[in-house]
């Protein structure tokens, strides 16, 4: 019994001492140290105030161009004119080529074709009365025809390669790869420059050979007043080797050739004759003159083929029907050389043979 009491007392004493000692241990235990990091150990730094970026409108293109009429850089090549980076006229030229030039060139092809189609549908071709036994006269010599077709072929190539400059990237580039289109356009550029020379040579030969026959005459006024019989039937209109319409075409071709070749020559040799502004100006003039030239030649092709019966033979074989010549060029027809020299001895219409001599 005593041992049981002693054990209970010992347990109670131990519990009492443990409870009493716990606060003492808690007070004697050192306080836990806070964990430190390298960032926390560094001294605090002052925050640097970064200035905001300048607004985009602080220096604009217009401000630079107001200070000077162009933006000029620095180049190490001898030609210092190539240092011009930008000028206001360049934007005007770019706007013209991307906006107005396609419309001008497109309408110069489409409108004449539509007008001539309507004219042919409602008016038809100009016809003449054929003879039962036609006699043919020489309209153009072999040299004249060769020069004409050389000039015409060169013009067609010049027109197509020139149109590629404006419409190529819009019409052809979607149909081929960019590399193929680039190669094609480079070949077209070389062809445009090359065929300009036989074209100008052909026009110069035409000036030498045909100028005398294209000088104005009094009968041309009556032909012009009647519109050449193109729009309605009229009485017979007198004309020499070339009528008034052909004379207008001749001098229009001469003028258009001077403008297109002169402007094209300046573009062919960049910065040799003109500065950048001059090249842009004459480049626009070249485009407009070429558009009018194309429209003019479309009308010429129509009148020389479908629009006038029997006309194509003059430039095809060089010969035309004498009845055709009398109908369109009566003042020239009687003096025209016959294709068959034996026909020169044949009596002409209205000619009365003298009575045979009686002995």
The answer to whether residue 183 sits within a structural domain is no
Q: Give the DSSP H/E element, type plus range, for residue 17.
A: helix 2-28
Q: What is the pLDDT of residue 291?
A: 93
Q: Mean pLDDT for the chain?
A: 80
The answer to whether residue 197 sits within a structural domain is no
Torsions phi, psi for 136 (to 5 deg): -105, 140
The answer to whether residue 269 sits within a structural domain is yes
Angle at which helix 101-122 crosses helix 276-304, to 10 degrees, equals 10
| CATH at 319 | 1.20.950.20
Mean pLDDT computed over 327-348 = 73
The answer to whether residue 216 sits within a structural domain is yes
153-172 pLDDT, tens digit each: 999 999 999 999 889 888 89
- Report yes or no: 310 and 324 within 8 Å, Cβ to Cβ: yes
In this prediction, residue 263 has a pLDDT band, given cuts at 50, 70 and 90, of very high
What is the reported pTM? 0.72
Q: What is the pLDDT of residue 134?
A: 83
What tokens appear for 272 in the block? 């040799």
Residue 236 belongs to domain spanning:
92-140+211-341
- Burial class from Cβ neighbours inside 10 Å (0-12, 13-18, 19+) for residue 290 reads buried
The answer to whether residue 45 sits within a structural domain is no
How many Cβ atoms from other residues are within 10 Å of residue 95's Cβ?
11
Integer angstrom CA distances of residue 5 from 10, 13, 15, 19 = 9, 12, 16, 21
Q: What is the pLDDT of residue 225?
A: 87
Q: What is the pLDDT of residue 241?
A: 93
Mean pLDDT computed over 82-96 = 74
Task: Count how many domains the chain has.
Answer: 1
Q: What is the pLDDT of residue 320?
A: 92
The answer to whether residue 2 sits within a structural domain is no
The answer to whether residue 6 sits within a structural domain is no
Residue of 151, 149, 188 whose CA lies nearest to 317:
149
The answer to whether residue 161 sits within a structural domain is no
162-205 pLDDT, tens digit each: 999 889 888 899 999 989 999 999 999 999 999 999 999 999 99
Q: Does the pLDDT of residue 49 top 80, yes or no?
A: no
Q: What is the pLDDT of residue 53?
A: 64
Q: For the chain, how far is it from start to end, CA to CA, in angstroms?
A: 205
Q: What is the pLDDT of residue 275?
A: 80
């Amino acid at each position: 019994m005593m041992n049981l009491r002693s054990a209970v007392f010992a347990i109670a004493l131990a519990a009492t001492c443990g409870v009493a000692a716990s606060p003492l241990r808690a007070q004697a235990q050192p306080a836990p140290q806070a964990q430190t990091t390298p960032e926390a150990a560094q001294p605090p730094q002052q925050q640097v105030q970064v200035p905001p970026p300048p607004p985009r409108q602080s220096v604009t293109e217009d401000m630079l161009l107001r200070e000077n009429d162009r933006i000029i850089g620095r180049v190490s090549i001898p030609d210092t004119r190539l240092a011009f980076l930008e000028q206001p006229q360049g934007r005007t030229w770019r706007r013209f080529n991307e906006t107005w030039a396609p419309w001008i060139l497109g309408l110069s092809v489409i409108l004449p074709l539509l007008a001539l189609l309507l004219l042919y549908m409602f008016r038809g071709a100009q016809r003449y009365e054929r003879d039962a036994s036609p006699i043919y006269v020489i309209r153009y010599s072999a040299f004249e025809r060769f020069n004409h077709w050389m000039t015409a072929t060169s013009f067609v190539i010049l027109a197509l390669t020139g149109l590629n400059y404006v419409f190529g990237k819009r019409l052809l580039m979607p149909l081929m790869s960019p590399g193929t289109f680039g190669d094609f356009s480079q070949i077209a550029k070389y062809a445009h420059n090359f065929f300009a020379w036989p074209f100008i040579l052909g026009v110069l030969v035409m000036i030498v050979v045909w100028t005398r026959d294209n000088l104005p005459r009094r009968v041309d006024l009556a032909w012009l007043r009647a519109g050449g019989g193109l729009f309605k039937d009229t009485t017979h209109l007198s004309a020499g080797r070339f009528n008034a319409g052909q004379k207008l075409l001749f001098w229009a071709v001469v003028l258009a050739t001077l403008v297109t070749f002169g402007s094209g020559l300046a573009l062919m040799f960049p910065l040799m004759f003109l500065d950048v502004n001059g090249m842009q100006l004459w480049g626009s003039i070249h485009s407009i003159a070429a558009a009018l030239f194309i429209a003019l030649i479309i009308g010429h092709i129509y009148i020389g083929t479908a629009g006038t019966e029997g006309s194509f033979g003059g430039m095809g074989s060089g010969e035309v029907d004498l009845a055709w010549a009398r109908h369109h060029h009566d003042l020239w027809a009687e003096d025209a050389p016959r294709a068959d020299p034996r026909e020169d001895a044949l009596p002409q219409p209205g000619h009365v043979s003298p009575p045979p001599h009686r002995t």
